[in-house]
Amino acid sequence: MDAAWLARQDMGGSYGRMRGTWWGRFPLAVCRYRHEQGAFWGDHIGPNPTDRAKNGVKRSILVEADGGPLAAIVAAANVHDTKLLEATIEAVVVERPQITEDSPQHLCLDKGYDNPTGWGTTLRHEYVPHIRRIGEEKLDEHGRKKLPARRWVVERTLAWLSKCRAILVRYDKKACNYLALIKLACLLFWYRRRWRLSVLR
């Protein structure tokens, strides 16, 4: 016996009324996405230009001189770094020290920020920019390459974050959940540093 015919018999006259109901009257059934969820693969996902246009996410972080993370945001992989610079600076979770002539604050960036947006954002937030110009290499007096640039500390911090399995590959559909895991890893980083310094004293 047909299962649909049994359902019509059990529902009685309600079946006829449901057949004439428009889908727009069931917003929970049609609109399946919740706040900041986006499409099926999640929000803040875009084609990675360095990995055959595979969908990916980009992490932008700001660290202090020793590599301690101060701010972190996420965006689609196809978003240029300069478009994330201002949001990354404004996402700093600690109070910024007072800027004086005797103690200026420096910001080291790579060649991807060598454009009007990168320079303008850095100066607007009262940082002393250290941006390597495109096509320029750091050479000594003999024309040989010097030691690595000072911005290698942020690459080391990104490598530390990639040691976390839930951060290396994004499994979360919502970007807010993925960002929360990154901030939790940064918190563990600061906790371990504080514990290590307290033991060595």
Cα separations (Å) of 124 from 90, 94, 120, 152?
12, 19, 6, 24
pLDDT one-digit tens code per residue, 146-156 = 655 666 888 89
pLDDT one-digit tens code per residue, 30-83 = 334 455 555 566 788 888 888 888 888 999 999 998 889 999 999 999 999 899
3-state secondary structure 60-101: EEEECCCCCEEEEEEEECCCCCHHHHHHHHHCCCCCCCCCCC
Asked if the model's pLDDT at residue 169 lies above 60, the reply is yes
pLDDT at 28: 38
Q: Which amino acid is at 103?
A: S
Task: Looking at the chain, list the stretches that DSSP marks H as alpha helix, in order from N- to C-terminal side.
Answer: 3-11, 14-19, 27-30, 82-90, 116-124, 152-162, 165-168, 175-200
DSSP letter at 148 equals P
Place of tokens 């428009």: 22
Bridge partners, 55 (sequence order): 47
User: What is the DSSP pairing of strand 106-109 with strand 128-131?
Assistant: parallel
Place of tokens 């850095």: 122
pLDDT at 53: 84
Give the chain's domains with CATH numbers: 1-32 (no CATH), 46-140+151-200 (3.30.420)
Asked if the model's pLDDT at residue 91 lies above 80, the reply is yes
